[in-house]
Structure formats: structure tokens, C-alpha cells
Chain A
Amino acid sequence: MDEVMIVALLVATLRAAAPLILAGLGELVCERAGVLNLGVEGMMLVGAMVGFAATLTSGSVWLGLLAAMLAGAAMAGVFAVLTIGLAANQVASGLALTIFGVGFSALFGAPYQSHPIPGLATVVFPHLSAAAPLVQQLLLIDPLVWLALAAPFLAGRFLDRTRAGLILRAVGESAEVAHALGYKVMRIRALATVFGGAMAGLGGAYLSLAYTPMWTENMVSGRGWIALALVVFSTWKPLLLALGAVLFGFVTIAGFQAEAWGIPLAPNLLATLPYLATILVLVLISRDTLRLKLNAPAALGKPFHPAG
């Protein structure tokens, strides 16, 4: 194993983690406001499809990303109307949203299959042509990965250090109290949900515009569910979520690397490693039940309707 391989491993890990971080953070903020949206997979798929279609039609990746965020937000908007406006069951509505997203993206994405596009360009740093080739390779990361690396810090800062973040958390802890204090619970929850949808759309678009620049049906392949699991895994903390996503990405990529180097490990064992690691960390976290209880938003999944 030489330096080139280590850098390749690092870059590949970050690329694998980016969609999980983006979608996971959106869900985290949404859950912190007390809304459990199981539709992440569906919103990612629709984001991936719409982002790809918009890029292909407009020729601009940036417009594609914007369209993907709008599409994800629109999906979340439907969810918000159902669960916040009409107080429908969040679990059932979220599952329905995923099933809807799978079908919708497949149906309307059909004409866009097998149109290769140039993916999202990597950020070019001027003045770096003289830098060591290794550093250059490390910096060959597309802008969305940079965003995914910065976003957990921004989200953490927003939730813990701003007034708006405090209000959002209050709504997620006790909607009644927040309401009594005069905050517009339903509006805040709807905004958090829509933000979650936009981030899921962005995470999906990362897959169809940067990771594997193409659209094929069901290309998200369960990453939405992993993003959901990471939110619990992180005990609703943005930085831990990013760490979890990177760990998950690392174990997946390291498994491939081990095979490519000829380290004799059974492929079935390697395939289970990311999930084993996730279960292990979950077990470690849940040993401390108090901590889990303290961190989980108390009003998570509970519909709220202002009385009177």
C-alpha cells in the first residue's frame, strides 16, 4: 500500500459518504423539529432523476442541482401537507412517499436513460499546479463533496448556536410548550421538512450528476435508508452523522481495496462489514440508554394540532 493508494482510498471514501451526509443532515434537521420522514429514499430518487433531466435539457449542472433540490422540497411539501396539515401518520406517509418516489422517478425518468452527460467538474485550484501530485489528487474532489464536508459544521452551528436552531429544537422537544410560547409550530415543522426534502434531492442529484453521471431506475439503491439509519446512529448530532457516513463509506471502499490488493478475505464477509460496523456502533450507543433518551427529540413522530 503506497501513498497513491491511500489518497485514492480517502477520495473514494469521501465520495461514497457525500450523498449520505447530505441526505442524512436534511433528515436530521427535520427530525430535530419532531418530524420523522421515512421518504428519504423516494426523495433522493426523484432528486436524482429531476436533476439529471434538468441538466440534460439545460446543459447546466448547477440548474440540475437546483431543480433536484426543488423536486425534493416539493416531495417533502406533499409530506408536510399530509402529516403536519392533516396530522396523518408520519410512518405510513413516509413509506408511501418512498414508494411513490420509486415509481414516479422510474416512470418519468424512462426517456432519460442512457444519455451520458459530463459529470460535475472538480474544483480547480489555481496556483496548485506546482503542489505535490498527491495533494493535487486529494484536491480532485467535486464541489458537492466540499459542501458535504462543510455542511455538518454549519448544521451543528445552526442547531446549537443560533436562536432559530433553538426554536426548531424546542418544537421537536415539546410542540405544546413551543406553541404556548407563541412559536408557529406547524410552520416551523413544515420548513424543516421541506429543507430535509431539498437536501435529500441534493444527495440524490449527487449520485446522478457527480458520482455516476447517468440516470437509471432505482439507482439510489437503498442509500436513503442508510441515511435514515445514520441519523439514529449519530444520536441526532450533525458531526457524528458525518463521521458515521465517512465510516460507512470507508468500510465499503476498504473492502473493495482489500480485494483488489489480494488480501484473502471472503467477499461475503466484506459485503457485510459496513452493516456490521453500523450495528456495532448502534449497540455501543444504545448501551447508554440515558444518552439516547436525552438526545432523541421528545416529540419525534408525534403529530401536533394547536388546540383552540
Chain B
Amino acid sequence: MLSRRTLMLAPAAGLIAVPAKAVTAALRVAFVYVSPVGDAGWTFQHELGRRALDAAMGAAVRTSFVENVEEGADAERVIRKLAADGNDLIFTTSFGYMNPTLKVAGSFPGKKFEHATGYKRSVNLATYSARFYEGRYAAGVLAGRMSKSGIFGYVAAFPIPEVLQGINAFTLGARSVNPKATTKVVWTSSWFDPGKERAAADTLIAGGADVVTHHTDSTAVAQAAEEKGVFSIAYNSDQSKYGPKTCLSAITHDWSAYYIRRVKAVLDGSWKSIDTWGGVKEGMTKLAPFNAAVPEAVRKEVAGVMAAIGAGTRKPFAGPLADQDGKIKVPAGQAMADKDIAEMKWFVDGVQGKI
């Protein structure tokens, strides 16, 4: 079911697909979003990708989206409807759409599907995600250089591998410039609850953290930091509006190039069901512009770290890596395999918190 809001907005914005008579040649591409588009956050970044796709491909494609689609049974109905309505390529942009997408892909062998952050593929269903942790590592270096106390606050939603990768990479990045750095983690058990995120950030700041970051969807953490006069590093989108003096940067994801590449692949017949896990190198993980408070030397250093990660000469999860109890998880001279990163279930030494 479309959300009420979508139902109200869709006719106004002309989003309800009209039968394609005049533009039969255009490839029809649909996007399914888990939350409203808004103007910052996870869904907004995918929407930027869709807009870039529109701009780049012109009349060759016709795109549409359905926002605020709850994960679960309703998602299947939306995806099925999009496929039945004549869309040729459907991107489903949230983890919880995995099984519904797989099911619908099975019923529409002639259509192509792509699911973000999942791991189930079929002949006409590809998967894609970004290595957010690469940006987190560089953000850790930035935090390590800007902090006086060496204590960082991390407002996190749920202890799943994607979030744990970020916390670990951030801590490792910070420890690469300040070996005594510690990251305090507070769980909100919700992707989106500005009040809770705010309270969690306030608590961490009161506990001595002078750089806070988050893996949740609102802008409350950047705002709390601005009010309390400590630094923040945002996630998903540039949040400098909420922390003009204190939001140092943001770890963002950019899907534009990926969406354009995949649509071109469909058009020229080279599309295959593959798994893409892009990072800094592919331009899928980026840092937002630095705050004026970041000195030139630090900007250069962080940009250098990003470049080294992109070039593959620096790996965030390179050994020796010890867990919280000091047990060696990755020996010196080795880097963690992608499979182990994808299934990460432990904290590195330097994280204060429990999974």
C-alpha cells in the first residue's frame, strides 16, 4: 500500500505513471524508498541518485519512485505493482525489501531488479551496497585530530554488521592518530527518533566526548553538538546547516554513478546479476566538505587518507586488530576478508560499549 502521504502527493507531483504511449522507447526505472524523501538522510541520497540519472540519461529513461514504503508484506505489493505497471528496472533501497524483491523478481523473469544492502541474488536480481566504513575510517582520523579529550561519542541504532563496521573503522581511524582514543557507544534501538538521538548525544557530551558522530537518520546529533559547543561528524547527508560552527564533515553515500552505469548496462544489453560493494574508489562513499574549523593540515591529512583508501594502499581493517578483550582477530600483515567484514559481530579495542 502506498502511504497516505504518497497518495496525496503523487497526483500533484505527476508521479503516478501514465501509460507510456509517446515514449515507448524510454526505459522505465522505478525506485522504492523506505522513508519520505525529505532533504537529508538515507532515502534522500538515493533520490539524488535518481535525479542524477534523469539528468544524465534524458529521454532515454523515465524514472519514478514510491516513498515511505514499509518493509515487509506491503513492500511486496508495491514492488509487484511497479513491475506489473511496466517498469523495466526496479531499485529497492532498503535491507528489509530483500525477500519481497526476491519473490517479485521470481514472478517477473523479464524484468530486472536491484536490491540495496542485501545478499540474496537471482538471475534477474542484483545487489549493491557501499563501504560506508571507509568513510568512517577517514572520519575517525578527522575526529582524532580535532579532539582534545580523545573521547568520542557514537550514537548508533542497532548492533548489525553495517553499524559495527562503522564504529570499528571510526575507532581505528582515530587510534591511528591518537592511540589512546576511546569511542563510547550508545544504542537508541531506532533508526529514527530525534528525541532519543538528542538525549543520547547529550549524555555522551556530558560524559566528556568532544566529537560526536552517529549512525541514525536524523539531524539531532549535529544539533546537540552545535548547542553544546563540541564537534560532530554527520552521516548520510551534509548537515552543516544544523552545525554551522561544529559539524566537521559528514560521511555520505553517492549512488549517481552506479545508477547511471546500471541503466546503461540494461540499455546496451550487458546487465548481469552481480553484487557491487563499492567504496571510496568507486565514488560511492564520500566525505562532505570540511567545516571552516578544520585546519588546512588536517584537511590534507584526511583527504590523503581517503585517497589512500581509494587507491587500496590503506585498508581500514588491516591487522593487527584486537577485540575488546585483547584477543587478536586479524594478525599483523593481513587485512580482513570482505566476507568477514560483511559478517562483523565484534568491537575493536578502544570501543567502550556492548553489543
Contact = CB atoms under 8 A, between A and B. Distances in A.
Contacts, number: 116
Interface of A is mostly: helix
A258 to B, nearest CB: 9
A270 B187 contact: yes
A123 interface: no
Given A212-B220, A259-B186, A262-B352, A217 B36 contact: yes
B198 A212 contact: yes
Contacts of B241: 114, 116
Contact of B219 (A102, A216, A253, A268): A216
Interface size of A as a range:
35 or more
Contacts of B224: 212
Interface in A215-257: 216-219, 221, 223, 252-253, 256-257
Given A99-B4, A212-B194, A271-B187, A114 B219 contact: yes
A268 B199 contact: no
Nearest to A7: B206
Interface in B165-194: 184-190, 192-194
Interface in A81-104: 99, 102-103
Contacts of B192: 218, 221
B195 A223 contact: yes
Given A214-B220, A259-B185, A262-B352, 11 more contacts: A12-B203, A102-B4, A103-B8, A106-B36, A113-B40, A212-B194, A214-B194, A217-B38, A256-B203, A260-B203, A271-B187
B200 to A, nearest CB: 5
A192 to B, nearest CB: 27
A253 B199 CA distance: 7
Given A103-B8, A221-B190, A212 B195 contact: yes
B350 interface: no
B203 A265 contact: no
A268 B39 contact: no
A216 B241 CA distance: 14
Contact of A114 (B39, B194, B197, B352): B39
Interface of A: 4-5, 8, 12, 15-16, 19, 99, 102-103, 106-107, 110, 113-114, 116, 119, 207, 211-214, 216-219, 221, 223, 252-253, 256-257, 259-262, 264-268, 270-271
Interface residues of B, number: 44
B236 interface: no
A211 B224 CA distance: 10
B223 A256 contact: no
5 contacts: A4-B206, A8-B206, A107-B5, A114-B242, A259-B187
4 closest residue pairs by CB, A with B: A267-B187, A271-B189, A8-B206, A260-B207
B282 interface: no
Nearest to B222: A116
B199 A216 contact: no
B153 interface: yes
B161 interface: no
B242 A5 contact: no
A9 to B, nearest CB: 8
B264 interface: no
B339 to A, nearest CB: 26
A113 B239 CA distance: 12
A8 B203 CA distance: 8
Contacts of B311: none
